[in-house]
Amino acid sequence: MSILNWSSLSLFSSKPPPLCKGKISVGAITKVLLRDLPPGRIVVLQHRDLDEVAAQELIDQKVKAVINCQETMSGAYPTHGPLMLLQQHIPIWEADASVFEAFTTNSEIVVYEDRLFLGDQEIPCSAFTREKWLSMQQQANERTTKLMEQFIENTLTHAMREMHAVMEPLPAISLQTNLADRHVLIVSRGKGYKKDLLAAKAYVSEVKPILIGVDGGADALLECGYQPHLIIGDMDSVTDRALTCGAELVVHAYADGTAPGLLRTNALGLPAHVLPCFGTSEDAALLLAFEKQCEVLVTVGARTHMIDFLEKGRAGMGSTLLVRMKIGARLMDIKSVGILYKQQKWTKEAGSTLLLSLFFIALGFFQLHWIVKRVAHAVWKLGGEG
């Protein structure tokens, strides 16, 4: 049904005003869409179970609204992503997956309560509300125990399959960046990664670690004013700006050597190492730094628990468990490092305050002593004259 036909069914004066209208940006893969998303857009996604990392980046990009051609929340597991958008007054509408191909970037759409118009095409939609989020969250919470059992089984199964691979050294690549005996900071696009990176300012300033961005983690480093030394990953969520910033590039390949990320680096004319490695790009970055004899590994935005991995589309964490077991005591999270540096900062500030206080006390004592001497001398002199 066209806009004209729909309008003719009711009086012009009674037609409700649109709830939202504007230009759209379309992306089947949300993290790819976010690479170069202009602010103020209505985004059209295919994102089942909208996770918190994606939600926060949509908020940061100041999107006007979200049209999701998948289930924004299926109830499979708990997530606060949709609620984060609604709390920032960013409305969400859901449309059928079959209509996704009808949308093209830079088209204009007009959204009403239960339908939207793309040119003269009418598309049914429904609002995703706080009430629906609460219902799905409760449903997901009821499934958590069963979900945990499945996650543990999957983790152990894959850990058993990959335990021999983790014991083998990585294929040798000759890096220009020397990691030996250095602190290495590895930034991934995990929950709260931008906030944690900002909180690491004192650590980065004092220790000056080697900075590694895992895909889009490189952009977070640049946003904070840091130049990444290395970028490692599938090269799907990192921007062209980051790839061309001068960092050494390592394309994470499958164990058989297939490296889809090379298509991107080759298209930009950039040299890149290829690193075949099982597991995630985050796992590959950790193993690479470990085998290059780094002193300490500090992670920012690393995935640590079941929901983190489920949001990434991984039903277990076998490779990540094995990698952390191999690295052992060298591995630290930025949150624990941040606490240490906050304490050191407080100690330094307290020490400086104490020194200044002692200085002014001493100065006051000296001035008081000088005044007493002058008064005593004046009294003596008066007594002598009398």
pLDDT in tens, 26-82: 999 998 999 889 999 999 999 999 999 899 999 999 999 999 999 999 998 889 999
Statement: residue 339 has pLDDT above 90: no
Burial bucket for residue 288 (CB in 10 Å: 0-12, 13-18, 19+): buried
Q: Using the 8-state DSSP alphabet, how is residue 64 labeled? A: S
**Confidence band, pLDDT 50/70/90 cuts, at residue 380:** low
At residue 28, the 3 state secondary structure works out as coil
Statement: residue 185 has pLDDT above 90: yes
CB burial of 70-90 (b: ≥16 within 10 Å; e: otherwise) equals bbbbebebbbbbbbbbbeeeb
Q: Which residue has the higher pLDDT, 187 or 363?
A: 187
Statement: residue 365 has pLDDT above 80: no
Sheet holding 230-233, edge to edge: 273-276, 248-253, 230-233, 210-214, 183-187, 296-300, 331-333
Statement: residue 9 has pLDDT above 60: no
| Helix, strand, coil shares, percent, the chain, to 5 | 50, 15, 35
**Confidence band, pLDDT 50/70/90 cuts, at residue 15:** low
Q: How many residues does the chain have?
A: 386
Q: Please give the CATH topology (third level) of the domain spanning 3-137.
A: Aconitase; domain 4 (3.20.19)
- The encoded tokens of residue 206 equal 């004092």
Distance separating alpha carbons of residues 16 and 63, to the nearest angstrom: 23
User: What is the average pLDDT across 121-141?
Assistant: 95
Q: Which residue has the higher pLDDT, 71 or 371?
A: 71
Distance separating alpha carbons of residues 363 and 171, to the nearest angstrom: 66
Distance separating alpha carbons of residues 256 and 278, to the nearest angstrom: 9
**Confidence band, pLDDT 50/70/90 cuts, at residue 11:** very low
Task: State the number of CA atoms in the 13 A half-sphere of 268 facing the CB.
Answer: 18
Q: Give pLDDT tens digits for 305-323.
A: 677 677 766 676 778 888 8
Render 140-182 in DSSP notation, one character per residue.
HHHTHHHHHHHHHHHHHHHHHHHHHHHHSPPPP---SS--TTS
pLDDT-wise least confident of 190-204, 237-251, 305-319? 305-319
Q: What pLDDT was estimated at residue 347?
A: 44
Q: Give pLDDT tens digits for 155-177.
A: 888 788 888 888 888 888 999 99
Distance separating alpha carbons of residues 132 and 110, to the nearest angstrom: 23
Statement: residue 356 has pLDDT above 90: no
Distance separating alpha carbons of residues 295 and 125, to the nearest angstrom: 54
Q: What pLDDT was estimated at residue 359?
A: 47
Highest mean pLDDT among 76-80, 131-135, 301-305: 131-135
Statement: residue 364 has pLDDT above 60: no
Average pLDDT over all residues of the chain: 84
Statement: residue 3 has pLDDT above 80: no
Pairing of the two strands 65-68 and 42-45: parallel
pLDDT-wise least confident of 287-301, 326-340, 354-368? 354-368
Q: Which helix (H) or strand (E) holds 42?
A: strand 42-45
Distance of CA 71 to the CA centre of its chain: 22
Q: Which residue has the higher pLDDT, 79 or 373?
A: 79
Statement: residue 346 has pLDDT above 60: no
Domain regions of the chain by residue span? 3-137, 150-338
Put simply, whether the predicted model's pTM sits higher than 0.85 gets the answer: no
| Helices 318-327 and 281-291, axial angle in degrees (round to 10) | 20
**Confidence band, pLDDT 50/70/90 cuts, at residue 367:** low
Statement: residue 241 has pLDDT above 70: yes
Statement: residue 350 has pLDDT above 90: no
Q: What pLDDT was estimated at residue 94?
A: 98
Q: Using the 8-state DSSP alphabet, how is residue 12 labeled? A: G
Residues 6 or more apart whose CB falls under 8 angstroms from that of 170 comprise 275, 276, 277, 284, 287, 288, 291
